[in-house]
Structure 1
Amino acid sequence: MSKCAQEFSVGKQVCFQIGKVINSHFPNLEERILALTDPRMRKEYKLSELILGGIMMSVFNSGSRNAFDQDRKDPLFSENYTRVFKLKLPSCDAIDDVMRAISTNELEQLKCQVLHSLLAKRVLHKFRFQNQYFMISVDATGIASYSSDYCGECTSKTSKNGNTTYFHHVLEAKLVTTNDMAFSIGTEWIRNSEQGEYDKQDCELNAFKRLAAKLKKEFPRLPILILVDALYANEPFFKICIEHGWEFIVTFKDGNLPSVHQEIDLLPPSARKHAERLIPGANKSFKKQNYTYIDNIDYKGIALSYVKCEEQIQSPNAEDKIKTFTHLSSIKACAKNYERISCSGRLRWVIENSFDYLKNHGYNMKHKYSRVSFTALRNYYQCMMIAHMINQFVEKSKDLQPALKKDSKMTIKYLWKRLCTFFLEVDIDSVEYDHFVRKRNQIRLA
């Protein structure tokens, strides 16, 4: 097979897999979009065509409205888009008009409805902690910065030199899995503190109060395990989780909760449980893990568990390195779950990896998709979160793993580059495509 034919084959695989994922896991997406309130007076396109266009901008990893518009202007790309998604592809100007006008709450609700559907189908149940709790990682990240408060709602910080920076930060709650997937389940935009400027701890914790209320309202009966960094090792966070009936695992550092450190130091050796694990690696290397766990530590009437893991990778060809991971949890630590608590606490990093991926690997989350409208910025963001859900199922599907393993240099970014080439260069057979995506077969995840 020629190199060109191989590239088209890879692009075809990605295209067909996207269709398979949407048909299987997001079958009612268009109907859900059409149920939204349409703010327009003139209606050249269906609302589903405009919102799906905003989602597909990120599915195709276009990185900007201009780049997606350039592809749209190619007649074959637009024809293939219609053949595959059964909808017209509107201009990005038309998409932007509706993004500035439609309610941000409605698009976030659309995202939640999609996630409700995944949960109802039990797609993510096998990734639960102890077959019970869905792991929700919470963290903040920056989206865009500006030289002025263009929307009147920018967060701001003034340096010692008197220079003021305006920006938008967001607090995200993402359902994370053991195979490194992260699905946005709740979004709260961070505001300035009551003192008038951005303060990381104050602003983020206040945003968490609003985000927690939103999550509880949207998913009232979902069994949740919250994963957070050391910023949240405090009484208000613990109480919010307890009030909502959630469990939690918090990264625990030396400067956190002095009274807890003091109680741990005063405990007799008999209160500390120890365990050791050896995990074989490649080339005669192995990972040695020493665990210490303590149960029922009292902090202002709140019972906490303490789990510490000292991990050492020993290899004949490299210097031994020791890493320490320490966590506090509301879950009672015992011989059956101490390792799971530690590993789940470390899964908090999945949300940070997802931020990096969305910013630097095709989605271009830092790009100012709308420079004049905060409403549009938030709506593009929610479209990107839905697109990221779709793409993760595609990337993690076992159907695509052979293509990735066949060439060690092939990356996820390369797969999406081939997808665009396929839409631009090949007449897609809609009959073959429809037959493939409608076949009743399970999407297996790697």
Structure 2
Amino acid sequence: MAATLSFDQLRSILVATATHLPDHRKRPNRIYEMADAALGAFAVFFVQSPSFLAHQQEMQRRQGQNNAQSLFGIDQVPSDPQIRNLLDPIAPEQLATPFWQVFEQLRKGDYLQAYQGYFGRWLCALDGTQYFHSQKIHCPQCTTRVVNGSTHYSHSLVAPLIVAPGENRVIALEPEFVQPQDGCEKQDCELRAAERWLKRNAHHFAAGSMTLLGDDLYCHQPFCELVIEQGQHFIFTCKPDSHQALYQEVALLAKIGGVTEVQQRRWNGQRSEIWCYRHATRVPLRADTKPLYVNWCEVTITDEATGELRYHNAWATDHALTESALHDFVIAARTRWKSENENNNVLKNYGYHLEHNFGHGQKYLALVLVMLNLLAFLFHTALDLCDEQYRRVRTELAARQTFFHDMQALTRYLYFASWQALISFMFTGLELDTDAPSSRRRRANRR
């Protein structure tokens, strides 16, 4: 394995991008650099403290040094209004590069071996989520809808994630925003945003190395054809109501023995379950003179003892389906739910406050701040994968919000010369060491 990917290396990736952000100011008197604004906003999201910069300004006044500079490399600590003014004109794609550079560093360092479990392919879950809604506040990037005569403004995005079965960490990739498009009269939507993302970013993955996961929305022939055109694969939820032609074909095939049925008994760690698979080859995705032919798989899981239904779903895919691969296929397909549980739910409810309006701006601010928030989430994930001390501290504190609260308090009152000094202070304070997996076990042994 390559050398540990440190916080300083991660920070240098962001600094390299931040120092090259375009400066739209016309006045020559520039106290704050664009990098200070971007790194300042990132620091707020990384520490998850809206008051972090104000606290560091106060520390600088009292102690002549501050954690914004030592931890994040901020030269002059800007105020919140200054950050908003400086970042508002910045298009969000200006901050896309760090997502891919962090992913590449993790890949090269062999930290992502567990994420290539489905026949050596990456599983990339696509999911849309709304993060802002108002009937008053809006900007040119808002999507709109009229409900009972009232105009509703909102922001949403498609959040692509690298996921893996049995892995509770997801790797955030560059998002794609649902927003008005130049020269397009139609309202933008999640599926069009996903198309843009795929066209722009498929080259980051070797041909055939990525399988896209998505709900029924993505099981749409033009999008599936685009995935194949880009040299990748797909597993998308496929519902009867929206794919009547496919299910009619499945019903006809079932009458002549063209649908294969397989039953397996499996232990889930607590109880025995019966997994019933049905799968068919080369069925039309839609009623068309030129349909895309896909493979179809359905699974029904019941409790062996009670007969209770535990799970049911079905998918369309371009992957070949064989009896020996059915279980792995379903496990991979079900991993899509991590986009909701391990990403959207965490970002909205467990520390990152994705739906909070940190500043809407007049142009791109609402989008840029989300990019920096997602980068903070990605950096924490990378540290959890790469930094043993960080991982031990996070494990010991258990709740993500407890970790943030401790970090907020420490950086408010104490100066740390580096990130490593901070995490080592927490590691030592929790009485962790390399010989015992947790201080709880050590305390239990003492009792």
Q: Same fold (TM over 0.5)?
A: yes
Question: Structure 2: which amino acid aligns with 1:34?
Answer: T
Q: Which residue of 2 aligns with 1:10?
A: none
1:34 to 16, 19, 44: 19
For the pair 1:153 / 2:141, whether they are aligned, the reply is yes
- Alignment of 1:139 with 2:123, yes or no, is no
Give the alignment's Cα RMSD to 1 decimal.
3.4
Which residue matches 2:283?
297
- Do residues 100 (structure 1) and 84 (structure 2) align? no
Quick one: distance in 2 between partners of 1:171 and 1:121?
27
Say whether residues 1:243 and 2:232 are aligned partners.
no
Which residue number corresponds to residue 373 of structure 1? Answer: 362
C-alpha distance in 2 between matches for 1:222 and 1:292: 25
Shift of 1:274: 0.7
Aligned residue for 2:321? 333
Distance 1:340 1:27 in 2: 39
The structural deviation recorded for 1:85 is 3.6
Candidates 152, 156, 169, aligned match of 1:169: 156
Paired letter, 1:75: M
State the Cα distance separating 1:388 from its structure 2 match.
0.7
Alpha carbons of structure 1 residues 135 and 432: separation in structure 2 relative to 1, 3 Å: closer
In structure 2, the residue corresponding to 1:269 is in which secondary structure?
coil
Q: 1:229-268, aligned counterparts within 5 Å?
A: 229-267=215-253, 268=256
Flag structure 2 segments of 5+ consecutive residues without an equivalent: 426-447
CA contact (8 A) 1:29 1:114 kept: no
Q: CA deviation at 1:266?
A: 1.9
Once the 2 structures are TM-superposed, how far is the Cα of residue 325 of structure 1 from its aligned partner? 2.2
Cα 1:121/1:303, change in 2 over 3 Å: farther
Once residues 435 and 369 of structure 1 are traced to their aligned partners in structure 2, the CA distance between those partners, rounded to angstroms, is 27
Cα distance in 2, alignment partners of residues 122 and 395 from structure 1: 14
Q: Distance in 2 between matches of 1:182 and 1:33?
A: 24
2:174 match: secondary structure: strand
Deviation at 1:135, TM superposition (A): 1.4
Give the distance between the partners of 2:215 and 2:99, measured in 1 at CA: 25
TM-score by length of 2: 0.79
Q: Which amino acid aligns with 2:80?
A: C
Q: Does 1:309 align with 2:299?
A: yes
Distance 1:313 1:28, change over 3 A: same
AA partner of residue 239 (structure 2): K
In structure 2, the CA distance between the partners of 1:431 and 1:219, relative to structure 1 (3 Å rule), is closer
Contact persistence 1:305–1:331 (CA under 8 A): yes
Distance 1:309 1:434, change over 3 A: same
Aligned residue for 1:186, secondary structure, equals coil
Q: Deviations over 1:150-175 (max 9, x none)?
A: 3233211112x212211112222222
Q: Is residue 118 from structure 1 mapped to residue 106 from structure 2 by the alignment? A: yes
TM-superposed deviation, 1:420:
1.0
Deviations 1:256-290 (A, max 9, x none): 321211221222336404141412424xx344433
TM-score by length of 1: 0.79
Q: Would the aligned equivalents of 2:261 and 2:276 in 1 still touch at CA under 8 Å?
A: no
Question: 2:83 is paired with a residue of what secondary structure?
Answer: helix
Alignment partner of 2:311 out of 309, 320, 323: 323
**Is contact 1:293-1:308 (8 Å) kept?**
yes
Contact 1:137–1:351 (CA under 8 A) maintained in structure 2:
yes
How far apart are residue 206 of structure 1 and its match?
A: 2.4
Report Cα offsets for 1:60-88 as digits up to 9, x if no partner. 122x4xx3344334417962343334444
Q: 2 CA distance for matches of 1:221 and 1:96?
A: 40
Task: Tell me the residue number matched to 1:60.
Answer: 47
Q: CA deviation at 1:143?
A: 1.7
State the 1:248 CA deviation. Answer: 0.1
CA distance in structure 2 between the aligned counterparts of 1:352 and 1:406, rounded to whole angstroms: 25
Q: Aligned equivalents of 2:119 and 2:314: distance in 1?
A: 23
| Seq. identity, % | 18
Change over 3 Å in CA distance of 1:119–1:431 after alignment to 2:
closer
Look up the SS of the partner of 1:374 in the other structure.
coil
**Structure 2 CA distance, aligned partners of 1:431 and 1:170?**
31
Deviation at 1:144, TM superposition (A): 1.0
Letter of the 2:248 counterpart: Q
Residues 162-194 of structure 1, C-alpha deviations (whole Å, 9 max, x = no match): 122111122222222331333332332224699
CA distance change for structure 1 residues 105 and 61 in 2, over 3 Å: closer, same or farther? same
Counterpart of 2:323 in 1: which secondary structure?
A: coil
Alignment of 1:367-406 (within 5 A): 367-395=356-384, 399=389
Task: Tell me: higher relative CO, structure 1 or 2? Use CA pairs within 8 A at least 6 residues apart.
Answer: 1
Tell me how far apart the structure 2 counterparts of residues 331 and 24 of structure 1 sit (CA, whole Å).
38
Is the 2:156–2:177 Cα contact (8 Å) retained in structure 1? yes
Question: Residue type of the partner of 1:311?
Answer: I
In the alignment, what sits opposite 1:213?
A: 199
SS state of the match for residue 53, structure 1? helix
- Equivalent pair of 1:155/1:197 in contact (CA under 8 Å): no
Deviation digits for residues 264-317 of structure 1 (CA, Å, limit 9, x no counterpart): 1222336404141412424xx34443333333334445342222222234679x
Match of 1:356 in 2: 345
Partner of 2:66: 79
Q: Is the 8 A contact 2:140 2:362 kept in 1?
A: no
1:196 CA displacement: 6.7
Alpha-carbon deviation of 1:27?
4.7
State the partner residue of 2:190.
204
AA of the residue aligned to 1:261: Y
Q: 1:91 to 1:327 in 2, by over 3 A?
A: same
SS of 1:342's equivalent in the other structure is helix
Measured after TM superposition, the shift of residue 20 of structure 1 is: 6.7
Partners of 1:151 and 1:431 lie apart in 2 by 37
For 1:93 and 1:332, locate their aligned partners in 2 and report how far apart those are by CA, in whole Å: 55
Cα distance, 1:401 vs structure 2: 5.8
1:180 aligns with 2:164: no
After TM superposition, give the deviation of residue 49 of structure 1 in Å. 3.1
The residue type paired with residue 241 of structure 2 is: G
Q: Give the stretch that moved more between structures: 91-100 or 42-51.
A: 42-51
2:442 counterpart residue number? none
In 1, are the aligned partners of 2:284 and 2:294 still within 8 Å (CA)? Answer: yes
